[in-house]
Amino acid sequence: MDTYDYVIVGGGTAGCVLANRLTASGKHRVLLVEAGGEPRSPWIPIPAGFSKLLTNRRYNWLFKTEAEENTKGRVISVPRGKGLGGSTLINGMIYVRGQAQDYDAWRDAGAKGWGSQDVEPYFRKLECYPQGGDTRGKKGPMHLEQVKERFPIADAFMQAAVQDGQRLNDDYNAPDQEGFGYYQVNQRGGRRWSAYDAYLKPARQRPNLTIVTDAHVLRVDLDGRRCVGITYRRDGQEVSVRAHTEVILAAGAIQTPQLLELSGIGQPTLLQTLGIAVRHALPGVGENYIDHFATRMNWRVKNTVTLNEMARGWRLVAAVSQYMARRTGILTLGTGLVHGFVKTRAELPTPDAQYFFVHASYANAAERILDRAPGMTIGVTQLRPESIGSIHAKSADPLQGPSIRPNFLSSEVDQQCIVRSMQLARRIVGQPAMAQFIEREMSPGPQAVTDADWLAFARESGQTIYHPLGTCRMGEDDGAVVDSRLRLRGLSGLRVVDASVMPKMVSGNIQGAVMMVAEKGADLIIEDRQG
CATH code of the domain covering residue 221: 3.50.50.60
Tell me, yes or no, if 467 is annotated catalytic: yes
Same domain, 163 and 281: no
Same domain, 86 and 162: no
Residue 409: pLDDT above 70? yes
Domain that holds residue 359: 148-182+293-384+410-461
Domain-ending residue, one of 461, 478, 495 = 461
**Residue 457's CATH number:** 3.30.410.40
Region 159-183: mean pLDDT is 98
Same domain, 267 and 194: yes
Same domain, 277 and 316: no
Could you tell me which of 166, 201, 155, 211 has the C-alpha nearest to residue 29? 211
Same domain, 306 and 452: yes
Q: Supply the mean pLDDT for the chain.
A: 96
* Helix 13-23 and helix 511-530, axial crossing angle in degrees, nearest 10: 30
Instruction: Give the pLDDT confidence score for residue 51 in this predicted structure.
Output: 86
Same domain, 128 and 168: no
Instruction: Look at residue 522 and give its three-state secondary structure.
Output: helix
Same domain, 125 and 154: no
Number of domains within the chain: 2
419 CA to centre of own chain: 23
Could you tell me which of 12, 337, 28, 445 has the C-alpha nearest to residue 195? 12
Domain-ending residue, one of 446, 461, 476 = 461
Choice among 28, 280, 339, 467 that is catalytic: 467
Q: What is the rounded radius of gyration, in angstroms, for the C-alpha atoms of the chain?
A: 23
- Rounded CA-CA distance 471/261 in Å is 12
Same domain, 224 and 269: yes
Pick from 79-93, 229-243, 365-379, 478-492: least confident: 365-379
Same domain, 268 and 403: yes
Q: What is the pLDDT of residues 224-267, one digit of tens each?
A: 999 999 999 999 999 999 999 999 999 999 999 999 999 999 99
Which residues is 294 bridged to in the sheet? Answer: 381, 463
Same domain, 271 and 340: no
The rounded percent of the chain whose pLDDT value lies above 70 is 99
Same domain, 37 and 49: yes
Q: What is the pLDDT of residues 111-151, one digit of tens each?
A: 999 999 999 999 999 999 999 999 999 999 999 999 999 99
Same domain, 314 and 232: no
Pairing of strands 237-249, 494-496: parallel
